Amino acid sequence: MLDQIDALRRQAETDLHAAGDSSALERFRVTYLARKGKIAELFDALRSVPADQRPLLGKHLNDLRTSVQALFDQRLAAAASHVQAAPALDLTLPGRRPPLGSRHPLTQVLDEIKAVFVSMGFGVADGPEIEDDYHNFGALNFPPDHPARDMQDTFFLNRTALLRTHTSPVQIRVMKEHAPPVRVIMPGKVYRNEAISARSYCLFHQVEGLHVDVGVTFSDLKGTLISFIKQFYGSATKYRFRPTFFPFTEPSADIYISCFVCGGKGCRLCKQIGWLEILGCGMVDPNVFKAVGYDSERYTGYAFGMGIERIALLRHGIDDIRLFYENDLRFLNQF
Ligand code: DAH
């Protein structure tokens, strides 16, 4: 019986050690210390032991019960203080709101421009940012000695690959892939080797447009772009077309709108001229059609290109283009 008492003590100590939470502790209490527990069983067995051995065994049994009870009480107290030490859980507190992102101001402008042109029946296409001389310049009728082909203005990755300097090469890719009619806008990032300042950055965004079909005229160009200006800048906006030159269009024009800060009187924003230049456009040069295999006797078309940063700068009165690329939340949270 002495062996049994020792074995039970060791078993009880192991079990108590393993009891990790309050329900395990309660199971321990029922198994060992309760009225029908294992210790009580041994007390019952004491009755059938010869009378002369009873006092000694009884003393051992009492010791066992006292020490197991003491160990148990200790563990119970420790578990209770552990529960109290944890911070009180207030289930009525409102939840924590996860911080919400917002659309970048350039994305907002781009989405609005897309919405206007999509509503006029344009599709949306894109092309690679790494281009070659042929798509970025050659097929767009740039002469071999054009200054844009210089390392000063263009980032060359190696002898043949460069970062596109405008979205116009996507025109070439679209026309090489699709027979006319085509009517698409082509938004994307472009890169220029400029000194970085508040006014210019090595990277910016453009939206290119192209419409080619039988019988497309300069009137279609004007109608479409004037409609864009009225929808995007407001129906009271005044505009003017001024002739200019691009290798890939003939004739070519720059479009200006009346300055929306001073209404045309002249201010710092419009550099006192009352007009803001917003895009370049023109009728696709027949040489471009030749490069992509379109019949320039049968088809005509217009193209246009505009910068996105400038629009966002003007709209929000932002005076430093670099802010768009720094990802400073104090700036971005305002949009
Ligand atoms: N590619 C010109 C630029 O980067 C913008 C442009 C002007 C695009 C006239 C056109 C266009 O498609 O017709 O400055």
Ligand 1 binding pocket includes 254 (Cβ within 6 Å): no
CATH H-level superfamily of 105-332? Bira Bifunctional Protein; Domain 2 (3.30.930.10)
- Please check whether residue 268 is in contact with residue 284, taking contact to mean a CB–CB distance below 8 angstroms: no
Residues 22-48 have pLDDT tens digits of 888 899 899 999 999 999 998 898 888
Q: In the chain, which residue ranges form alpha helices assigned H by DSSP?
A: 2-18, 22-28, 38-46, 54-85, 105-119, 133-136, 168-177, 218-233, 286-292, 308-316, 329-332
For the chain, how big is the Rg over CA atoms in Å? 41
Dihedral angle computed from the Cα positions of residues 166, 167, 170 and 171, in that order, rounded to the nearest 10 degrees: -90
Q: Which residues contact 188 (CB under 8 A, 6 or more apart)?
A: 126, 127, 129, 164, 167, 170, 205, 206, 208
* Residue 104 CA from chain centroid, whole number: 9
- Please check whether residue 193 is in contact with residue 155, taking contact to mean a CB–CB distance below 8 angstroms: yes
From the list 80, 307, 294, the residue with the least C-alpha distance to 206 is 307
- Please check whether residue 187 is in contact with residue 112, taking contact to mean a CB–CB distance below 8 angstroms: no
Identify the pLDDT of residue 78.
Answer: 81
Ligand 1 binding pocket includes 281 (Cβ within 6 Å): yes
Identify the pLDDT of residue 151.
Answer: 73
Ligand 1 binding pocket includes 168 (Cβ within 6 Å): yes
Distance CA 312, CA 324 (A): 9
Tell me what percent of the chain is helix, strand and coil, each rounded to the nearest 5: 45, 20, 35
Tell me if residue 57 falls in helix, strand or coil: helix
pLDDT by 10s per residue, the chain, length 335 = 888 888 989 999 999 888 888 888 899 899 999 999 999 998 898 888 888 988 888 898 899 999 999 999 988 888 777 666 667 788 888 989 898 888 999 999 999 999 999 999 999 999 999 999 999 999 999 988 888 787 778 999 998 899 999 999 999 999 999 999 999 999 999 999 999 998 889 999 999 999 999 999 999 999 999 999 999 999 989 999 999 999 999 999 999 999 877 888 888 878 899 999 999 999 999 999 999 999 999 999 999 999 999 889 888 889 899 999 999 999 999 99
From the list 223, 208, 282, the residue with the least C-alpha distance to 251 is 282
Ligand 1 binding pocket includes 282 (Cβ within 6 Å): yes
Identify the pLDDT of residue 86.
Answer: 64
Pocket test for ligand 1, best of 166, 220, 292, 308 (most atoms within 8 A of CB): 166
Tell me how far the alpha carbon of residue 87 lies from the centroid of ligand 1, in angstroms: 64
For the sheet with 123-124, list strands across it: 123-124, 182-191, 203-213, 300-307, 275-284, 249-258, 239-246
Task: Determine the atom of ligand 1 nearest the C-alpha atom of 165.
Answer: 4
Distance CA 254, CA 211 (A): 17
Tell me how far the alpha carbon of residue 307 lies from the centroid of ligand 1, in angstroms: 9
Identify the pLDDT of residue 83.
Answer: 64
Residue-range domain boundaries for the chain? 2-85, 105-332
Pocket test for ligand 1, best of 146, 163, 168 (most atoms within 8 A of CB): 168
